[in-house]
């Protein structure tokens, strides 16, 4: 029963709140009867809007606007439990491939990471931008880069989900006044295990200190790091404690140069909000700072460790609707406490499509027969689409759905 609840918790998030409206994705049966062209089966040169480089490490500014293909096995390992918007995932299923546009914000972060001296404190990047401009997709691109370069991944697909849609909560038995989210903690540990399954067997990833869960259950110094993960998954009672121990261990292991760690948190500003839907046994609503799962992820975004990188996003949709601040800038969304915690950081803005990106996106939609209306493919039709959508990536997907 716990296993089923955990997977419902993982699949339930998907960005229900993050997407401001629902798109009706065409079922495969509505696609014309001819099969979709497959880039892998086509021996002809790739069209100009597709990149020949499917490795994020090789992406450069000359690839900006092009689409690259993610191998299905990599997509399954990285994004099985979240990390890409639900609408994009449905689109990939319709197109029978996962293609992501190479955009400047991701290229900028990857360029910084390539030139970073990892002996110094972890560099922090903050993604910000208007709704629908691609913050989550930028993070997905950077995640792929981290995966390819053997970083241990600490990824929170959409942090507000914990505080808006908790599956279960209870008073913490070891910390007075705090509340546990045991099932959500287990779900995150499964996500971590799936993303890092190829690294957890590394003998260098061993525990740096003893961790006592109960009088009979102890993880000894020198044990594989995976033991902490398995303890949290199998013993729901200790799942949040295991997350705290795991993230502390990763900071120490990174400092010891036994691994590199990349931290990616979407909707980071929710940690500094003052509201959740979580209540104590006395029916008192509590802020995120009184939820035990908050502290470990806030702590790992500090600059007190090295050999890693921290990428977070701030989003007005992270807040409850009546608390939204009508701004997309970090200072306004993080508030004084959050901004002071994250500063100094490198701000990275996501914007609407440039003319080139818009043109390439339309060409891709035409190739995949997402757009089949001949007028939409004309110069006049493209101008109309650019005007109606304001070249906003999410809005463009929405307005082209009926075409």
If one counts every other C-beta atom within 10 angstroms of the C-beta of residue 393, the result is: 22
Across the chain, mean pLDDT equals 89
Question: Is residue 40 scored above 70 in pLDDT?
Answer: no
Please state the pTM of the whole predicted model.
Answer: 0.88
Rg (CA), the chain: 22
As a whole number of angstroms, the distance between CA 275 and CA 261 comes to 30
Q: What is the DSSP string of 1-67?
A: -HHHHHHHHHHHHTTTTTSSS---PPPGGGS-SSPPP-TTT--SPPPTTB-S---GGG--GGGTT-E
pLDDT of residue 36: 52
The Cβ of residue 22 has, within 10 Å, a number of other Cβ atoms equal to 10
**Residue 339 neighbours by CB under 8 Å, 6+ apart:** 330, 331
Residue 374 lies in a domain: no
Segment 134-172, tens digit of pLDDT:
999 999 999 999 999 999 999 999 999 999 999 999 888
d(CA 165, CA 114): 37
* 359: in domain: no
Residue 77 in tokens: 């390992």
* CA 249 to chain centroid: 22
Closest CA to 80 of 2, 236, 187, 230: 187
User: Does 135 map to a domain?
Assistant: yes
User: What kind and span of H or E run contains 126?
Assistant: strand 123-129
Residue 402 in this model has a pLDDT that exceeds 80: yes
pLDDT of 44: 66
Weakest mean pLDDT among 118-122, 144-148, 320-324: 320-324
Percent of the chain with pLDDT strictly greater than 90: 81
The reported pLDDT for the residue numbered 285 is 86
Angstrom distances, CA of residue 333 to CA of 69, 109, 323, 327: 33, 21, 11, 7
Asked whether residue 399 is assigned to any structural domain, the reply reads: no
Whether the per-residue pLDDT at 32 is higher than 70: the answer is no
Higher pLDDT, 126 or 7: 126
Beta bridge partners of 218: 212
Spatial neighbors of 205 by CB under 8 A, at least 6 apart, are 152, 199, 224, 225, 226, 253, 258, 259
- 335 occurs within a structural domain: yes
Q: Is residue 131 in some structural domain? A: yes
Number of domains in the chain: 1
- What pLDDT, on the 0 to 100 scale, is given for residue 4? 42
pLDDT band at 358 (very low <50, low <70, confident <90, very high): very high
Q: Which pLDDT score is estimated for 137? A: 98
Is the residue at 393 inside a domain?
A: no
Can you tell me the mean pLDDT for 91-112? 97
- Could you give the percent of the chain with pLDDT greater than 70? 89
Q: Is 26 exposed, middle or buried (0-12, 13-18, 19+ CB in 10 A)?
A: middle
Weakest mean pLDDT among 26-40, 178-192, 298-312, 374-388: 26-40
pLDDT classification of 16: cutoffs 50, 70, 90: very low
- Residue 163 within a domain: yes
Full residue range of the structural domain in which residue 129 is found: 2-351
pLDDT tens-digit map of 169-190: 988 888 888 999 999 999 999 9
pLDDT band of residue 373 (cuts 50, 70, 90) is: very high
pLDDT at 138: 98
pLDDT at 26 > cutoff 70:
no
Question: What pLDDT, on the 0 to 100 scale, is given for residue 336?
Answer: 95
- The stretch 95-114 carries a mean pLDDT of 97
């Amino acid at each position: 029963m716990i296993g089923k609840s955990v997977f419902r918790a993982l699949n339930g998030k998907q960005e229900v709140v993050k997407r401001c409206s629902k798109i009706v994705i065409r079922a495969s049966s509505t696609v014309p009867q001819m099969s979709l062209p497959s880039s892998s089966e086509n021996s002809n040169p790739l069209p100009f809007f597709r990149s020949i480089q499917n490795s994020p490490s090789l992406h450069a500014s000359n690839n900006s606007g092009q689409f690259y293909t993610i191998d299905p096995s990599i997509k399954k390992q990285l994004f099985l439990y979240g990390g890409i918007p639900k609408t994009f995932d449905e689109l990939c299923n319709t197109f029978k491939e996962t293609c992501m546009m190479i955009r400047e914000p991701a290229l900028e972060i990857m360029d910084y990471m390539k030139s970073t001296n990892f002996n110094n404190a972890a560099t922090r990047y903050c993604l910000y931008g208007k709704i629908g401009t691609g913050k989550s997709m930028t993070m997905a691109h950077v995640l792929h880069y981290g995966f390819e370069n053997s970083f241990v991944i600490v990824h929170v697909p959409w942090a507000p989900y914990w505080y808006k849609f908790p599956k279960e909560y209870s008073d913490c038995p070891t910390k007075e006044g705090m509340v546990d989210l045991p099932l959500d903690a287990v779900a995150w540990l499964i996500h971590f295990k799936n993303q890092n399954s190829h690294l957890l067997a590394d003998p260098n990833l061993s525990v740096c200190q003893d961790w006592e869960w109960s009088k009979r259950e102890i993880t000894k110094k020198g044990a594989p790091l995976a033991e902490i993960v398995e303890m949290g998954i199998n013993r729901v009672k200790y799942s949040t404690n295991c997350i705290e121990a795991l993230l502390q261990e990763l900071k120490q292991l990174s400092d010891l140069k036994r691994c590199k760690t990349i931290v990616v948190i979407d909707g980071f500003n929710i940690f500094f909000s003052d509201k959740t839907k979580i209540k104590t046994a006395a029916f008192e609503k509590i802020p995120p700072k009184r939820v035990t799962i908050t502290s470990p992820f806030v702590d790992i975004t500090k600059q007190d460790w090295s050999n890693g990188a921290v990428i977070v996003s701030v989003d007005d949709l992270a807040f409850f609707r009546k608390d939204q601040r009508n701004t997309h800038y970090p200072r306004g969304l993080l508030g004084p406490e959050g901004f002071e915690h994250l500063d100094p950081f490198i701000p990275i803005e996501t914007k609407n499509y440039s003319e080139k990106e818009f043109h390439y996106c339309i060409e891709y939609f035409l190739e995949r027969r997402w757009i089949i209306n001949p007028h939409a493919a004309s110069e006049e039709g493209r101008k109309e689409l650019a005007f109606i959508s304001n070249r906003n990536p999410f809005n463009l997907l929405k307005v082209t759905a009926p075409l």
